[in-house]
Amino acid sequence: MPSTQEDPLLTSARREMIVTLCIWLIAMIWTIGVSVTWGYGRDPATLKYVLGFPDWIFWGVIVPWATSTVVSAVFAMGFMQDAPLGDEEELRVDS
Amino acid sequence: MLLAVADHGYTVIVVLMVFLAASVWLGTMAQRTLEKKKFLEGFLLGNRGLGAWTLALTATVQSGGTFMGVPSLVYSHGWVVALWISSYMVVPLTGFAMVGKRVAQLSRRTGALTVPDLFRERFNDARVGVLASLLIIFFLSFTMFAQFKAGATIMKLAWPGSGPMVLSEDIIVQPAKDVPAKKGLDYKYLIGLLVFSITVVGYTMIGGFLASVWTDLFQSVLMVIGVMVLLCLALPEAGGLQHATEAGIAATGPKFAQGPGFHPDGRSFLTPGLAISMFFLWIYSGFASPASMIRVMAAHNTEVIRKSITLLSVYNCFIYIPIIMIAICGREMFPTLKQPDEIIPTMAMHLTREIPGGSLLTALILAAPFGAIMASVSCFVLVIASGLVQDFYIRFLHPHASETEIRRATRVAVLLVGIAGVIAALNPPTYLQALIVFSGSAGAAAFVTPALMTCYWRRATAPGVLSAMGAGFAVHLSLYGIGWIHNWALSFGEGATGLPRLIVDSLGPDLMLGTASAFRPYFLMGLDPVLWAMLASAVAGVMVSLISKPPTEEHLQRIYDGPARLVTGAASPA
């Protein structure tokens, strides 16, 4: 019964959704992990600055932000797949 | 300090008028693309022809109010706000990759033009569409009313001699002693409101979706230019970021550069639990918001969606990180502002005072949020009006409406929604700001599960999606309700007796989280209500789907299976 075959766009979209969720989870663990460990109740006397940012902000927000931007671009341009979106008329003719 | 920002002459009002004129022009341009034949598809979705730039810079960019709120928060609470907003690092990715491709495909396959349309087609049940439509109209209305008011307020303040221009309400309403306390209608505000509303509703009515999108693109570009200029001027003035941070610590104490952030009365602005909540809130309210979903529906193809992810990721980097830096510099330059909302206008006026053409530059920087407000109003008016037409007029009032009648009904609906906005802005509800925060996150709570179910889950049923929407909304509403009662009880203080005592005993003491508003919700286990509401929505959606009758295979094939042509032929994706 060939008609039960899943739409290829659905298959790729679901895979991309799962990878996206993983990226989001890693970003959250990194950002909140680093910031909460180093930044909460931090003694200002020990505070160092990286490019003018407090060190925990630099490693906990700025660096993951830059990384996410690169990862998003690589994901979108290298991993995500194109598929025809189809349109209403096309489908009506087929079915 | 205030001398520098005393007056801004006629420049600001002129720039705002140019803004309005440009938008009307964009509206008439958009109208030319509307075909006679497929009016609704053109008017509501721009013939599904959005390119990468228009999609990226308009789909998930926040409304003007939110955007201008960030600097004010940084100024008040310090560096921790960077963590508060940090999930924007993945918003472009999640915004388009979670459901984007499927929403774009399904809306074409089913002919859906709105989010409720899409849900209804997937679940083959009119009740789903009506409930979704009602919830959307409910959530968006508050936000829309507030944007009307903000637009009118900016117009009013832009008049020469109105003092520093800010988005805050508090300094506007400062009745002089000899003015009677009963507030009459302020004619400047009234004129501002009328000019603003007629323009925005006008160009939305003429040009529809594309008019809204093009204004949005226009202001997004202006915004990034304004932010970059301001950053370049502010950093040297404040003596660099490190010096500005140290000055901030000196002014407020160590919490300016550590978690959970500075707060004058000792509240924790961002506990770890709330930081996690924000990482959920921005992500899920982003991709599941109706305003962002209809823009994805309008994407031209999947390549556009992919390019948009890249573009928006880079754009967000150049907007949010600089704006945090600017506000930190602001604390050094103006250590004791009474109204944190004034920080950006104050800095803009101060920094450009010695530059030739500086007042024009200031005006442009200040006009960016005005553009954002116009774009949001236009988008909300359109989404609400499309709901009225698609889900109520065509569904119930006039099922066999002709093209001409639909066209007329759509424009009348836009007009009606606009008039409602004006009336609400004349006499806004008292706790408007609280209602906006509430409805923004309530949208995430109610629509995330339905959106995922629609796109990916064959077994999801109509009763399931109805309970998912209902449960998310109900839990969210209850936690806000409990928070309100809790705050009422806490207001009796230590010596409370009777009912307030009982409430405080059962709900516990004030957790000292978040902001000090009377409308803060009850943070169950220190987490934002949106988390609990999303959880409830997911559980309800899955459980009810599983115990209800599965949808028919015939219907599912249309949604989840490849077109017959693809199945029999070469079924390889690109």
Class at the top of the CATH hierarchy for domain B2-168+185-561: mainly alpha
Structure tokens at B91: 């918003």
- Bigger pLDDT: A19 vs B18: A19
Residue B566 sits at the chain A interface (C-beta within 8 Å): yes
For residues B260 and B278, give the distance between their C-alpha atoms in angstroms, rounded to a whole number.
14
3-class DSSP assignment, residue B163:
coil
B370 touches B151 (CB < 8 A) = yes
Contacts (Cβ under 8 Å, ≥6 apart) of B157: B163, B165, B166, B172
Q: What crossing angle do the helices spanning B553-560 and B100-110 adopt, rounded to 10°? A: 120
Distance, in Å, from the CA atom of B374 to the CA atom of B414, rounded to the nearest integer, reads 15
Contact B301 A85 (CB under 8 A): yes
Backbone angle region of A48, left / alpha / beta, with phi > 0 → left and psi within -120 to 50 → alpha = beta
In angstroms, rounded to a whole number, what is the distance separating the alpha carbons of residues B85 and B88? 6
Per-residue pLDDT tens, chain B, 574 aa: give them: 333 344 556 777 788 888 788 888 888 887 777 765 577 777 887 777 787 777 777 755 555 555 667 888 888 888 888 898 888 899 889 888 888 889 988 888 888 888 898 998 888 888 898 899 888 888 888 778 878 887 887 777 776 655 554 444 433 333 333 333 334 557 778 888 888 888 888 888 888 888 888 888 887 888 888 888 889 988 888 888 888 888 888 888 788 887 787 777 767 778 888 888 888 888 887 788 887 888 888 888 888 888 989 998 998 888 889 989 998 998 888 887 777 777 777 788 788 777 777 777 777 777 777 777 888 888 888 888 888 888 788 877 877 878 788 888 888 889 999 998 888 888 766 666 667 777 778 888 889 999 999 999 988 898 999 999 999 999 988 888 888 888 777 777 777 677 777 777 777 776 666 665 666 777 888 788 888 999 999 999 999 999 988 888 888 888 888 765 444 444 444 3
CA A46 to the chain's CA centroid: 33
What are the φ/ψ torsions at residue A50 (nearest 5 degrees)?
Answer: -115, 115
Pairing state between β A53-54 and A49-50: antiparallel
Instruction: Report which of B148, B137, B182, B63 is spatially closest to residue B424, judged by C-alpha positions.
Output: B148
CA–CA dist B12, B14 (Å, integer): 5
Tokens of B77: 């609470």
Cβ–Cβ of B93/A76 closer than 8 Å?
A: yes
Number of H helices, E strands in chain B: 23, 0
Pick the residue from chain B with its C-alpha nearest to A55: B257
Instruction: Give the SS3 label for residue B513.
Output: strand
Chosen from A17, A55, A63 to mutate, greatest number of chain B CBs within 10 A? A17
Question: What's at A23, amino acid-wise?
Answer: I
| C-alpha to C-alpha distance for B260 and B266, rounded to whole angstroms | 10
**What angle, rounded to 10 degrees, do the helices at B187-237 and B126-157 form?**
80
User: Distance between CA atoms of B549 and B386, rounded to whole angstroms?
Assistant: 31
In this structure, which amino acid lies at residue B397? L
Q: What does the pLDDT read at residue B518?
A: 61
The radius of gyration of chain B's CA atoms, rounded to the nearest angstrom, is 24
Q: A17 and B89 in contact by Cβ < 8 A? A: no
Q: Which helix (H) or strand (E) holds A49?
A: strand A49-50
- Containing A56, the helix (H) or strand (E) segment is helix A55-57
Q: Which of B435, B522, B518, B511 is CA-nearest to residue B478? A: B522
Q: Counting Cβ atoms within 10 Å, is residue B39 exposed (0-12), middle (13-18) or buried (19+)?
A: middle
Query: Across the interface, which of B79, B566, B572 has its CB nearest the CB of A57?
Result: B79
State both tokens at A71: 């990862």
pLDDT value at residue B1: 32
Residue listed under structure tokens 């895979």: A15
- Judge whether B84 and B281 are in contact, CB under 8 Å: no
Question: Given this model, what pLDDT does residue B4 score?
Answer: 38
Residue B449 neighbours by CB distance under 10 Å: 29
- The shortest C-alpha distance from B436 to chain A (Å) reads 26
Domain residue spans in chain A? Answer: 13-76
Contact B44, B382 (CB under 8 A): yes
Pair of tokens at residue B462? 């109509």
A24 interfacial to chain B (CB closer than 8 Å): yes
Shortest CB distance from B82 goes to which of A11, A27, A57? Answer: A57
- Is A52 in contact with B572 (Cβ distance < 8 A)? no
**How far is the CA of B196 from the CAs of B66, B189, B210, in angstroms?**
20, 10, 19
Contacts of B49 in chain A (CB under 8 A): none
B451 contact A CB<8A: no
Query: CA B39 to CA B410: how far, in whole Å?
Result: 10
Which residue, B291, B90, B144, B393, is CA-closest to A73? B90
Question: Which secondary structure element, helix H or strand E, spans residue A50, and what is its range?
Answer: strand A49-50
CA angle centred on B40, ends B34 and B45, rounded to 5°: 75
The residues with which A54 forms a beta bridge, in sequence order, are A49
- Tell how far CA B90 is from the center of its chain: 17
Interchain contact A66–B (C-beta under 8 A): yes
CA distances from B54 to A22, A78, B114, B310 (A): 28, 22, 19, 13
Tracing tokens 């569409």 back to the chain, one arrives at B129
Residue A31 and residue B302: Cβ atoms within 8 Å? no
- In the chain, the amino acid numbered A11 is T
Kindly report the nearest CA distance between residue A68 and chain B, in angstroms: 6
ipTM of the complex: 0.87
If you write DSSP's letter for every residue of B53-95 in order, what string do you get? HHHHHHHSPPPHHHHHHHHHHHHHH-THHHHHTGGGGTHHHHH
Residues in chain A closer than 8 A to B40 (CB atoms):
none
* Distant-in-sequence, close-in-space partners of B137: CB < 8 Å, separation ≥ 6: B384, B387, B388
Q: Please count the other Cβ atoms lying within 10 Å of the Cβ belonging to residue B394.
A: 17
Residue A20 has its nearest CB partner, among B97, B557, B568, at B97
What does the mean pLDDT of chain A come to? 83
Using the Cβ of A42 and the Cβ atoms of chain B, whether some distance falls under 8 Å is answered with yes
Cα–Cα distance for residue pair B42/B140, rounded to 1 Å: 22
Produce one character per residue of B542-569: b if its CB has 16 or more CB atoms within 10 Å, e if not.
Answer: bebbeebeebeeeebbbbbbbbeebbee
Q: What is the pLDDT of residue B382?
A: 86
The length of chain A is 95
Q: Do A35 and B257 touch (CB under 8 A)?
A: no
Nearest-5° angle of CA B543, CA B106, CA B47?
145
Interior/surface letters B120-129, b for 16+ CB within 10 angstroms, e for the rest: bbbbebeebb
> A2 and B568: CB-CB below 8 Å?
yes
Residue A54 three-state SS: strand
Terminal C-alpha separation, chain A: 16
Predicted confidence at residue B62, as pLDDT, reads: 57
A27–B562 CB contact, under 8 Å: no
Among B529, B519, B525, B524, smallest CA distance to B488 is for B519
SS3 string, B295-338, reads HHHCECCHHHHHHHHHHHHHHHHHHHHHHHHHHHHHHHHCCCCC
Question: Could B574 and A83 be called an inter-chain contact, meaning their C-beta atoms sit closer than 8 Å?
Answer: yes
* The token pair that represents B37 in the structure block: 């034949």
pLDDT band at A22 (very low <50, low <70, confident <90, very high): very high
B260 preceded by cis ω (within 30°)? yes
